[in-house]
Structure 1
Amino acid sequence: MSEEYGGLLGAFPYAFRHSDSRLFRAYTAVSGVLVAVLTLFFALALVVTVASTTGSASGTITFVRSVFILLGFLVVAPLVAPVLFVARRIRRGGSDAPYDAALGATGVVYTFTLYLGAIASMPAEFELDGQVTPRPEPTGVTAPLVEALYALPEALSWTIPLAGAALIYLVHRRLR
């Protein structure tokens, strides 16, 4: 039906141009920028880790380096998934606004779960500029939510974005 898109980078403009959903097109634009920023963040974190562990011949150090790559992929892949799902659907049969909007909405939810997972993973105390600093006390309208996230064990903070990623897949399976 339509011209082809050239892989991952070409899927973003292709899906943006051919989708009938404004929500999905907005998600495509925002997620493209967010993917670029997160990719840069994880690449720089990997460079810093490699630089700080140069000269160490331990298998554990090599494992830590690999974890940065895996973690980056696990964070970025669900951001890209709605765009790839929609681009593939458009290429195979045309745009479907309700499907596009649903995947755009689940992409937004996933993005929000990344933020919630970051809040939940914040330790009770951390060192900043040589001083031990407690995490900020929750205030305002979102205080109950932040308190609930603080109560979640840090080791389980990854389950929040995982739930958002699973939602993307479930909506795709349900509506395809």
Structure 2
Amino acid sequence: MADGYRGIVGAYPYALRASRSLVFKCWVLASALATLLIGGFVVLGIVFLIGQTAGIGGGSLTLSRAFYVVVGLFVVAPVVAPTLLVARRHRRGVAERQEEAAAGASVTYDRLLALSGFTFLLLLYLGLVATVPPAQQQPVSGVWAPLVRYLYSLPQPAGLVPPAVGAVLVYLAHRVGK
């Protein structure tokens, strides 16, 4: 692989170099940071869960530990998908897209995926706010107070909806941009 593209880790620098979109280049950096943070939270969550349940045998606890990993993958996948899709598109299209019109279409595709990725992160944050347990909710004031109060008032399972919508938006951005 002479182009430097070696799986998921190599896709990040490759996409950063290959894209002409400044918005997408910002997304590559933001998604790398977000992926590291989410991965860190998942690992810490698993360590905490194992620490809390160390004296208890397997069974359903093993399932809950695996559930942390699955949830982590469902959260990380839409974060890394735009970068991987753009890297793949640039890698496959280097020889095929030498025309200037195709380069303009590529910038539009890159920008669209970056914006969908940023939207996913925003919706993920809103979903997290909606899942804050009532005992840990803080009083809020300011411009965003009505939105935060509304999110607090939702039942906790409703917090799954915004990230799911964000993941669908990433997929639709890819399909529309093709």
| TM-score, length of structure 2 as denominator length | 0.88
Is 1:125 aligned to 2:138, yes or no? no
The 2-side partners of 1:81 and 1:28 are apart by 11
Deviation at 1:79, TM superposition (A): 0.3
Per the alignment, residue 115 of structure 2 pairs with 105
Segment of structure 1 superposing worse, 149-158 or 21-30: 149-158
1:128-167 matches, cutoff 5 A:
135-167=137-169
Percent identity at matched positions?
38
Show structure 2 runs of 5+ residues with no match: 95-102
Which AA in structure 2 matches 1:65?
R
Per the alignment, residue 70 of structure 1 pairs with 70
The 1-side partners of 2:143 and 2:55 are apart by 49
The 2-side partners of 1:49 and 1:147 are apart by 30
Deviation at 1:125, TM superposition (A): 1.4
Show structure 1 runs of 5+ residues with no match: 127-134
Which AA in structure 2 matches 1:67?
F
1:37-52 matches, cutoff 5 A:
37-52=37-52
Which AA in structure 1 matches 2:78?
P
The 2-side partners of 1:52 and 1:146 are apart by 31
Per the alignment, residue 14 of structure 1 pairs with 14
Deviation at 1:99, TM superposition (A): 0.3
Which AA in structure 2 matches 1:47?
V
Which AA in structure 2 matches 1:150?
Y
Which AA in structure 2 matches 1:120?
A
The 1-side partners of 2:65 and 2:153 are apart by 30
Deviation at 1:151, TM superposition (A): 2.2
Per the alignment, residue 125 of structure 2 pairs with 115
Which AA in structure 2 matches 1:53?
T
**Does the 8 A contact of 1:106 with 1:164 survive in 2?**
yes
Deviation at 1:28, TM superposition (A): 0.4
The 2-side partners of 1:48 and 1:125 are apart by 20
| Greater share of helix | 2
Provide runs of 4+ in structure 1 moved above 2 Å: none
Residue aligned with 1:125, SS: helix
Per the alignment, residue 177 of structure 2 pairs with 175
The 2-side partners of 1:54 and 1:125 are apart by 26
Deviation at 1:60, TM superposition (A): 1.5
The 2-side partners of 1:136 and 1:142 are apart by 13
Deviation at 1:83, TM superposition (A): 0.3
Which AA in structure 2 matches 1:107?
G
Residue aligned with 1:122, SS: coil
| Greater share of strand | 1
Residue aligned with 2:132, SS: coil
